Structure 1
Amino acid sequence: MPRDTRGQLLETGLAMLLRQGYSGLGIQAVLREAGVPKGSFYHFFSSKEDFALQVVDAYMAEVHKGLDVALGDTALSPLDRVRRFFELSRDKYESEGRLGCLLGGLGQELAGISETFQGKIEGCFAVIVGRIADCLEEARQQGQLPADNDPQHMANLLLNCWEGAALRSRLWRDTAPLDAMLDFYFSAARSA
């Protein structure tokens, strides 16, 4: 993410949203931590909600980079590429203090009270699922998955399991739930 003023605010906001959630996020605290004057915030963002939504967009740009790196690595089999995406995500969570997925955290906090965030987060998840499903379809065509498997269903199941494991990983401050989930899912997928 660029280190311009807007980029600084988004980067700081991402870290703070992961640690404190939306309800605990204060604009003054973001400005203080980013070392940016108050007027700068309202130059780039119309409100706290607009700011958080733009943080989600910045987060998704990073997710897309991870998807591109992992799913684009044709030296790996399709299933191994999908697993690699989640391993890269796990490593990122580890580097950020095992706080898990921003989408999952905000979704748990806000989906029941904000249709805007519910739609935004579900849209982000749908994009991730779609890209994973495409790779799982390739795995199905290559015989890595049974011919009657539905790649869209398998991708949704994988993301659902991942988000649950990410929550447990955050609670435990340990990546073990993520690793166990990946081992279970890919073992089951290969043997189904």
Structure 2
Amino acid sequence: MAQDTKQRLLDAGLEMLLRHGYNDLGVQALLTATNTPKGSFYHYFPSKEAFALELIECYMVEVHRGLDATLGDRSLPPLARVRRFFELTQEKYREEGYLGCMLGGVGQELSGVNEVFRAKIEQCFNAIAERIAGCLEEARQRGDLPADFASRRMADLLVNCWEGAALRTRLRRDPTSLQAMLDFYFAAATG
């Protein structure tokens, strides 16, 4: 029962953080949405900041699950696996109404005013880029990318471009920016 309450708070919090951002994530609204007493929230989370940091961890579990499923799919060549990860992420964005990446949204909102969140979100982006770099390196070694292709640097660039396109997609509520970015990146990388 206790874990159910904590999980209910986290599940609702993930959606609310994505939809409203950190500053508009009201603890009282969360408690009302989950029918949870205030004391229960503070039993599991010492502060709103601690709660949001745990939400980021939950989000990253989902991201790593997606990376595992796509980058680990050896039935596809490495570049197709990387692209597949982003295409599935784009599909998730569509299902959520094109709200974009929670990391990007919270990072834009808080990175200039909260060092804890800045460092945490940078750590998350680095973890994603590191996983992608491994797959890009596999593609380079297979000859699918130029011999001098800098896999880690190009993985960072891919994540950076994706985050910018995700923001534009959120602003427009339209996936065109994401698709154009993927098409451009993979054409440039292999050309």
Q: Provide TM-score, normalisation by structure 1.
A: 0.97
Displacement of 1:127 in angstroms is 0.4
- Code of the residue aligned with 1:126 in structure 2: it is N
What aligned pairs does 1:2-151 form with structure 2 within 5 A after superposition? 4-151=4-151
Measured against aligned partners, the alpha-carbon deviations of 1:135-163 in whole angstroms (never above 9, x if no partner) come to 00000000111010100011000000000
Displacement of 1:36 in angstroms is 1.6
Measured against aligned partners, the alpha-carbon deviations of 1:56-114 in whole angstroms (never above 9, x if no partner) come to 00000000000000000011110000001111111111111110000000000000000
Counterpart secondary structure, 1:62: helix
- Code of the residue aligned with 2:87 in structure 1: it is E
Q: Output the aligned Cα RMSD.
A: 0.9
Gaps of 5+ in 2: none
- Code of the residue aligned with 2:121 in structure 1: it is I
Partners of 2:86 and 2:105 in 1: CA distance: 17
Q: Provide TM-score, normalisation by structure 2.
A: 0.97
Partners of 1:35 and 1:80 in 2: CA distance: 44
Counterpart secondary structure, 2:100: coil
Paired residue for 1:180?
Answer: 180
Partners of 2:10 and 2:171 in 1: CA distance: 25
Counterpart secondary structure, 1:130: helix
Partners of 1:65 and 1:104 in 2: CA distance: 19
Partners of 2:11 and 2:97 in 1: CA distance: 15
Partners of 1:151 and 1:177 in 2: CA distance: 23
Gaps of 5+ in 1: none
What is the number of equivalent residue pairs in this alignment? 189
Partners of 2:160 and 2:18 in 1: CA distance: 19
Partners of 1:7 and 1:101 in 2: CA distance: 21
Q: Which moved more, 1:17-26 or 1:52-61?
A: 17-26
- Code of the residue aligned with 1:129 in structure 2: it is A
Question: Kindly, what percent of the aligned residue pairs are identical?
Answer: 62
- Code of the residue aligned with 1:24 in structure 2: it is D
Q: Which runs of 4+ in 1 moved over 6 A?
A: none
Partners of 2:76 and 2:175 in 1: CA distance: 23
